[in-house]
Amino acid sequence: MRQINNFINGEFVASGIGKRFDKRSPVDNQVIASIAEAGQAEVDQAVSAAKHALAGEWGQLSTNDRVDLLYGVADEITRRFDDFVAAEMADTGQPHHVMTHAFIPRGAANFKVFADIIKNVPTESFHMDTPDGRGALNYGVRVPKGVIGVVAPWNAPFLLMTWKVGPALACGNTVVVKPSEETPLTATLLGEVMNKVGVPKGVYNVINGFGPDSAGEFLTRHKDVDAITFTGETRTGSTIMKAASDGIRDVSFEMGGKNAGIVFADCDLDNAVDGIFRSSFLNTGQVCLGTERVYVERPIFDRFVTALKEKAEGVTFGRPTDAGVNYGPLISQEHREKVLSYYAKARADGATIVTGGGVPDMPADLAEGSWVQPTIWTDLPESSAVIQEEIFGPCCHIRPFDSEEEVIELANASDYGLATTIWTENLTRAHRVAGKVDVGITWVNSWFLRDLRTAFGGAKQSGIGREGGVHSLEFYTEMRNVCIKM
């Protein structure tokens, strides 16, 4: 069994308090790793290492040298691609092709893209008039914010963690990462990469553990953490925001969603069914951008429901590496209990179960895994908790609509505002509706097409701030203005 330790100041270290916890495979519930839980002492050491690294060799590097190191990190991830794929598959149980096509390559890209951005994005400069006629010149200088606390979730662990670590390091900060307790493996592997490439000690640190009264809380409360970037549940964000208020530390939050898919009768039906199938069921529905509320214009409602049902019933469950498997388990037994509680709520609230609604029959060796069926409902009232709350499972409710105004109102009737998808061949309508749905990210005739230079983040309770492209530079640096009198 793997022994996973914390990564502090370039060394893998066990917990001083001797605490360890088990990581179980979502596929069969077997213990696959023993993880050292960081106590307050390890978090203190990691933050102190990160602080010292700022003042050391890392802080003295030229932008070009820093950027070269980050290119090296990306190359080394690519060289060890199979190790990262294997680690992420072991942690999440998700199919091999999801790792190789999306999650691991994006991890490497997160270092390259932000290295390019920091090299190429200019700062501002203003000439101003002065009463003596000689004028003054203002220019902006970006300086690192300092030690960044990175708190990451389990649903796309490597992609989401590097999405923050990449720009944080490109901007010259140091980081202490708290990966999810469910998925510690790739963050740990990245420590090996950092050492191999020669990233100075203390620049990248990993502390393992849980949230409350554990590594997550110790990190976010730490007075020497200068800013916190967090992806996870809205409720957790609220707790972290309170912790960050001590010392007035900056936060960037990417949180939950209850995203609407809007399908107009004039869409390309095959394309729309395909897109909603992916957005509802990819990664077993554990994608913050996923669609759990689908609104379909009445003339194509029945055809749409039938076609989506057929696709949902066509998935192949199994071990991530088995040939033909395209569908994995949920992350844990605990999360399965949560998802199944919503399956029960849907039944209690009078849903018509189009497909699924339970647990699939699995062979004996996988029977203890966190499997659930892809599930589609119709006929629920919009007031049902199943429509209002984020389930984060492979499920969606489909409801017919009759007018553009009606569907915009339905889409916006949520406390969340992360993402939406609009399916129509009428581009005028697409622009119009995109302007009225209250979210941070809108896709038209597509889903999860991500250009890393674009703004990413949520409206309402789905987030605070934007990351991506220059928006990441805004969060990970302080802009200092220098004014020179001529």
Cβ-based burial of 385 (10 A; exposed 0-12, middle 13-18, buried ≥19): middle
Nearer to ligand NAD, 110 or 462 (CB): 462
Of 55, 69, 173, 61, give the one whose Cα is nearest residue 115.
Answer: 69
Nearer to ligand NAD, 169 or 288 (CB): 288
Interface with ligand NAD by CB under 6 A: which range of 40-48, 232-240, 378-386, 431-439?
232-240
Residues whose CB falls within 8 Å of the CB of residue 323, separated by 6 or more in sequence, listed in order:
none
Per CB under 6 A, does 288 bind ligand NAD? Answer: yes
Q: How far is the CB of 26 from ligand NAD (least distance, A)?
A: 13
Per CB under 6 A, does 98 bind ligand NAD? Answer: no
Among 211, 275, 285, 329, binds ligand NAD (CB under 6 A): 211
Residues whose CB falls within 8 Å of the CB of residue 110, separated by 6 or more in sequence, listed in order:
159, 162, 163, 165, 166, 167, 452
d(CA 115, CA 245): 30
Per CB under 6 A, does 205 bind ligand NAD? Answer: no
Among 40, 239, 333, 445, binds ligand NAD (CB under 6 A): 239
Q: How far is the CB of 182 from ligand NAD (least distance, A)?
A: 7
Output the residue with the shortest Cβ distance to ligand NAD.
211
The secondary structure of residue 395, as a DSSP letter, is: E
Nearer to ligand NAD, 76 or 182 (CB): 182
d(CA 262, CA 421): 6
Q: 331 - beta bridge partners?
A: none
Nearer to ligand NAD, 200 or 232 (CB): 232
Per CB under 6 A, does 154 bind ligand NAD? Answer: yes
Per CB under 6 A, does 292 bind ligand NAD? Answer: no
Cβ-based burial of 378 (10 A; exposed 0-12, middle 13-18, buried ≥19): middle
Tokens of 174: 């140091």
Strands 395-401 and 419-423: unpaired
Q: How far is the CB of 463 from ligand NAD (least distance, A)?
A: 6
d(CA 160, CA 421): 21
Cβ-based burial of 410 (10 A; exposed 0-12, middle 13-18, buried ≥19): middle
Nearer to ligand NAD, 151 or 170 (CB): 151
Among 229, 390, 439, 441, binds ligand NAD (CB under 6 A): 390
d(CA 385, CA 349): 9
d(CA 210, CA 179): 9
Per CB under 6 A, does 356 bind ligand NAD? Answer: no
Among 151, 194, 262, 473, binds ligand NAD (CB under 6 A): 151
Among 254, 372, 407, 473, binds ligand NAD (CB under 6 A): 254
Site map 3..42 versus ligand NAD, x via CB under 6 A: ----------------------------------------
Per CB under 6 A, does 153 bind ligand NAD? Answer: yes
Give the containing element (helix H, strand E) for 32: strand 31-36
Interface with ligand NAD by CB under 6 A: which range of 90-98, 212-220, 306-314, 470-478?
212-220
Of 312, 272, 268, give the one whose Cα is nearest residue 295.
Answer: 272
Nearer to ligand NAD, 429 or 453 (CB): 453
Among 84, 304, 392, 475, binds ligand NAD (CB under 6 A): 392
Among 94, 173, 236, 259, binds ligand NAD (CB under 6 A): 236
The secondary structure of residue 102, as a DSSP letter, is: I
DSSP helix/strand/coil, 124 = coil
DSSP helix/strand/coil, 12 = strand
Catalytic residues: 254
Q: How far is the CB of 286 from ligand NAD (least distance, A)?
A: 7
Interface with ligand NAD by CB under 6 A: which range of 31-39, 61-69, 205-213, 342-350?
205-213
Interface with ligand NAD by CB under 6 A: which range of 4-12, 81-89, 228-236, 364-372?
228-236
15-39 b/e (C-beta count within 10 Å ≥ 16 → b): beeebbbebbbbbbbeebbebbbbb
Size of the site for ligand NAD (CB under 6 A): 32
Interface with ligand NAD by CB under 6 A: which range of 131-139, 230-238, 293-301, 430-438?
230-238
CB atoms within 10 A of CB 187: 27
Q: Which residues bind ligand NAD (CB under 6 A)?
A: 151-155, 160, 178, 180-181, 210-212, 216-217, 220, 231-233, 236, 239-240, 254-257, 288, 390, 392, 418, 458, 462-463
